[in-house]
Amino acid sequence: MCETRSQVSFIGFVTLATTVATGYEAMHMWVENVELATENDPEVKKWQWDLETGKWSGQQAVGGTDPALGFKGRHIVRAAWMSQHWGVGYSTAVIGSENTKGDGLPGPAGINVIDARLQRTEDFLSSAIVLRASRLGQTDAALSWWSRAVALAQGKTPEPSIIATAVIPQTIPPSPLAQRTIASALVSLSAFYAMSGQYKTAQSVEEASLELLKTIHPLPSSPATPPETLHGLYILQRSSLLSVHLAEVLHARRQSVDVSIRYLESAVEASTQVARCRSMNKVASGLLRDARRTAAEAWNLMGILHEVRGSSPKNILNCYEHAIGWAGDITLSAPEAPDGILESEWNIYRENYTRAKQVVDKLTLN
């Protein structure tokens, strides 16, 4: 009898293990053959969205992961892709930066928040790539890589020892992918200078970057293909982030509050336009999430500046109300942060809104 039970238990264990292993490999095959498959849509190729997949795929012509990575390496890369795109559950991590100065606006931008999906993705990729040395905290190395990214996007050969300063390209390259690469690099460079307290340099980078991105054709007024529309929205969203950065830097430099508010209003307008437009799937969903977060942060910071300026309580509440709305839960009924909004950000929006509403309610009763 005992032997029979042991046989049944063993068979059950083998069946369960086989089912789990099959499901695991099925997920990897789906990512390999579907999610990382090569793109055949000519419009997608025209606007070079197919090359975005190449950041994960080692075989641009046929798609999928690079066979040179081997069995384990390819599984790790696919696991990293799944971690970023499918998530790892609800979690965030908040850390303080030793290089951050306390002169900026109080709000989400003053806190280093790491999305758990991105952290988990980085963990997987770190296992796949053995780095010669860590670059974290090495200022010259970081600036050098940003400078090289901009140079390569312009079709130039970067100098081996090039170190980036606040030099912004004079013209934008014709390649859509290069335009998006430069836009993203400029946002990162802006954030680096601001977070390291180099406010004067940050302001120069942000003002020049905004002028440069204006030279890229605006969103088409006539009917356009989804890939073309998405490209315009991508550039517009990066412009809105630069506007938020510039508003914070100007405030940190004790510039006029009105000037900071104007840049935040520009960020709100751009982010709202992005958030209300839906086109392609993968990239668009991430862009929509970023636009919502940027709009919410811009409205929240605008509320803070209106408080500094001494605006009417109703005007201040209106800003915080918009921040809550763009975050996704105007009723404040959800126990956790809305989808796509970090808990740390949500707590700040909710506290500011609640405080402003209490002031307005008190004035109304009196």
At 182-238, the pLDDT tens digits run 998 899 889 888 988 899 999 999 999 999 999 986 665 567 788 888 898 899 999
**Does pLDDT of 253 surpass 90?**
yes
Higher pLDDT, 163 or 287: 287
pLDDT for the residue 72: 78
Determine the Cα–Cα distance for residues 102 and 110; give it in Å rounded to an integer: 8
Mean per-residue pLDDT over the chain, rounded? 76
Strand partners, 83: none
Of 60-69, 133-142, 269-278, highest mean pLDDT: 269-278
Residue scoring higher pLDDT (216 or 86)? 216
In tens, the pLDDT along 3-39 reads 566 665 766 666 766 776 677 788 888 777 777 776 6
Q: Is the pLDDT of residue 343 over 50?
A: yes
Half-sphere exposure of 300 (CA within 13 A, CB side): 28
**How many CA atoms, within 13 angstroms, populate the side-chain half-sphere of residue 244?**
30
Q: What pLDDT was estimated at residue 130?
A: 38
Residue 49 pLDDT class (50, 70, 90 cuts): confident
Written in H, E and C, the secondary structure of 84-101 is HHHCCCCCEEEECCCCCC
Distant-in-sequence, close-in-space partners of 209: CB < 8 Å, separation ≥ 6: 168, 186, 187, 189, 190, 242
pLDDT of residue 104: 47
257-288: per-residue pLDDT in tens? 999 999 999 999 988 888 877 555 567 778 88
- Per the model's pLDDT, the better-predicted residue between 170 and 127 turns out to be 170
Q: Evaluate whether 280 touches 227 at the Cβ level (below 8 Å).
A: yes
Rounded Cα–Cα distance for residues 353 and 134 (Å): 41
pLDDT of 337 over the 90 cut: no
Distance CA(352)–CA(320), nearest Å, equals 7
Convert 261-292 to b/e letters by CB count within 10 Å (16 or more is b): bebbebbbebbbbbbebebbeebbeebbebbb
* Residue 11 burial by Cβ neighbours in a 10 Å radius (0-12, 13-18, 19+): exposed
> What average pLDDT does this structure show over 295-319?
94
Residue 121 predicted with pLDDT over 80: no
CB 213 within 8 A of CB 78: no
C-alpha dihedral, 36 to 188 to 263 to 274, nearest 10°: 0
The CA distance from 163 to 142, in Å, is 9
Task: For residue 294, name the pLDDT band (cuts at 50, 70, 90).
Answer: very high
User: Is pLDDT larger for residue 166 or for residue 297?
Assistant: 297
> Does pTM surpass 0.75?
no
What is the DSSP secondary structure assignment for residue 34, as one 8-state letter? I
Amino acid identity for residue 188 in this structure: S
